[in-house]
Amino acid sequence: MASSPSYLLLPVGSASGKSLSASHLVLSNVRAQAPIVRCLSCKRTRKYSNGLNLVTRRDMIGLLFGASSILLNSPYANGAGLPPAEKPILCDDACEKELENVPMVTTESGLQYKDIKVGGGPTPPVGFQVAANYVAMIPSGQIFDSSLEKGQPYIFRVGSGQVIKGLDEGILSMKVGGKRRLYIPGLLAFPKGLSSAPGRPRVAPSSPVVFDVSLEYIPGLEDEE
C-alpha cells in the first residue's frame, strides 16, 4: 500500500534555500520519507528523519510565519476583514443633500421633522393601525434599529402608546406614501435607553434619536374602502 502524502509548508521558487517573503508560501503535496522544511529566516535547509529530531527556535518561527500567511490569505480571513455591507436606508446621499434645503418644523412638544416626501394618501386617525418602515439612528448616524433589515413594515396602533412618543406624534401628521425625518428629543424617546448589541450602538436613557419613517398604508382605512 502506498504511503499517504505528507503536506508541508514550502516556499514557491527555486530550491536554493534563499529567504522568501511569507506571502509566497503555499501548501505543497510532497511524497517523501524524510520531509524537508524550509525556514524563512535561515540560509540552509534542515532535514529531519522520522520526525523525532528537535526543531530549532529559528525554524519554528519561520514555519509559524508561513502558516499565518496562509491563514491571512484565505477567503475566510479576507471575508472577515471586509467592511460590513451597507445597511438599507430610507434616505440616500441625494436625499440627504435635498434635506439641507427643507425647512425644519418644530412642534409644541419639541419634536422636529423634515418631510423627505409628502404623501398623497390619508392621514391616520388616532388608534388606527398603520404600517410603517423606519430606520432608527443615534445623532451620529449609527443605526440601532430598522424595519428594512427585518424585511417588512412595522404595524402598530398609532397614538396608543405602543411606540415612543416622538414616533407616535410624527406619524400622526403624515399621509400615506410620505417619508419624513424625525428629530426626537430625549423626553420623547427612550426613557430607559437601549443597551448595545453586536452591530447596534447603545442608546443612552432619554437621549435624542433620529428616525427616518415612511408611512406605507393604513390597514383599517383600506379595508373600509
Measured in whole angstroms, the distance separating CA 142 from the mean position of its chain's CA atoms is 10
pLDDT score recorded for residue 221: 79
Tell me the three state secondary structure of residue 26: strand
> What are the domain boundaries of the chain?
107-217
pLDDT score recorded for residue 122: 95
Indicate the pTM of the whole model.
0.62
pLDDT in tens, the chain (225 residues): 554 444 333 333 444 443 333 333 333 333 444 444 444 444 444 444 444 444 455 555 454 444 433 333 333 333 333 244 578 999 999 999 999 999 999 999 999 999 999 999 999 999 999 999 999 999 999 999 999 999 999 999 999 999 999 999 999 999 999 999 999 999 999 999 999 999 899 999 999 999 999 999 999 776 555
**Which of 119, 141, 216, 137 minimizes the C-alpha distance to 184?**
137
> Maximum Cα–Cα distance for the chain, whole Å?
88
CATH topology of domain 107-217: Chitinase A; domain 3 (3.10.50)
pLDDT score recorded for residue 58: 52
pLDDT score recorded for residue 201: 95
Burial of 80 (0-12, 13-18, 19+ CB in 10 A): exposed
- Residue carrying C-alpha cell 406614501: 177
**In which element (H, E) is residue 136 found?**
strand 129-137
